[in-house]
Amino acid sequence: MVRAVPNGIRIAAYAFVALTMLLLLAPLVVVIGVSVSESQFIAFPPNGLSLAWYRSVLSSDAYLRAAALSLQIALMVTASATVIGGAAAIALHRRNLPGSAVMATFFLSPLVLPTIIYAIGMLMLWSTLFGGVSMMTLWLGHTVICLPYVVRTTLAVLSESDPFLEEAARTMGANRIQRLVHVVVPQCLPGLAAGAFFAFNISFDEAVLSLFLRRADMTTLPVQIYGQLEFSPDPSVAAVSTIMIGITILLIVVIDRVLGIKRFAST
């Protein structure tokens, strides 16, 4: 047996990983640090410790309205993307439609098309057809970009499920609807759940589509933050951002509990 890795390289590897994690996490740590600062100005390392900026966020109409809109859209999108994407994945998994492979690629294609191109198309189409954007535009747009995640997680779960379970239900006399409701949907439940959480996260954090499909009375939380950053950021932006980071961490923990994050890590 040869020595697996020379010691020098092993130490270098640990140092390298530590530095990379520092690079990846530094901006998040900084944002959290700024949010608890006492200072009127954005400063890192923070001076003092205070939750005053959280209080100012929670009493700011603009932030609360933006948060309510983001939450509303994210919930609507989670529902629509999970139902539509889950149904499509169940059918795609059976591979009994002509061009199933092409169709699978089609369902995943919003993933590889840069959002800015799609956002422009949506803006222009809606302006031409309806004279402007609306909640409907945001809802449909977000659903389209979240759909591939649900399709992918559901397909991943189905590919490991027992294909004979549905056959067994059929021989025992279950009809189509019964098989779908009592056998197939429970089989893909972990995939649907993970997809739903991904959809929520992506919609809640999405900024590009929401910036293009913006209307004065339709400002989502990321758009509100972007506006603040362009104009005059104060530590209240950091407080909102920290809340968003907290929600993301929560979602990751939930996805990991439901399904194991590893299974969806490789893109």
Partner 1 sequence: MSDRTESLLLTLPGLLLLGLAFLVPIAQMLVLSIEGENGPTLAHFARFLGDPFYLGVLWRTVRLSLIITVICAAIGFPLAYIMARVGPRLRLWLIVLVILPLMTSVVVRTFGWMVLLGRSGLIPDILRDLGLAGRSFAIMHTEPAIVIGMVQVLLPFMTLSILGVMTRIDQRLEEAARTMGCSFVQTLRSVVLPLSVPGIVAGSLLVFTLSASSFITPNLLGGPRIQVLAASIYRSVTQTLDWPFAAAQAVILFAGVLVVMIPYVALTGRGNG
Residues between 51 and 80 with contacts to partner 1, criterion CB under 8 A: none
Is 198 in contact with 211 (CB distance < 8 Å)?
no
Output the smallest distance, CB 252 to partner 1, in A: 6
| Burial group, residue 187, by CB count within 10 angstroms (0-12, 13-18, 19+) | buried
What totals of helices (H) and strands (E) does the chain contain, helices first? 12, 0
80/190 with CB nearer partner 1: 80
52/84 with CB nearer partner 1: 84
Q: Which residues contact 118 (CB under 8 A, 6 or more apart)?
A: 110, 141, 144, 145, 209
Interacting residue with partner 1 among 17, 62, 68, 168 (CB under 8 A): 17
Is 133 in contact with 126 (CB distance < 8 Å)?
yes
Output the smallest distance, CB 260 to partner 1, in A: 9
Is 142 in contact with 75 (CB distance < 8 Å)?
no
Is 259 in contact with 193 (CB distance < 8 Å)?
yes
Q: Which residues 247-266 are close enough to bind partner 1 by CB under 8 A?
A: 248-249, 251-252, 256, 261-262, 265-266
Q: Which residues 104-143 are close enough to bind partner 1 by CB under 8 A?
A: 105-107, 109-110, 112-118, 120-125, 128, 140-141, 143
Q: Which residues 139-178 are close enough to bind partner 1 by CB under 8 A?
A: 140-141, 143-144, 147, 151, 176
Stretch that binds partner 1, among 48-56, 58-66, 71-79, 240-248 (CB under 8 A): 240-248
Interacting residue with partner 1 among 62, 64, 168, 229 (CB under 8 A): 229
Q: Is 169 helix (H, G, I), strand (E, B) or coil?
A: helix
Output the smallest distance, CB 258 to partner 1, in A: 14
- Any idea how long the chain is? 267
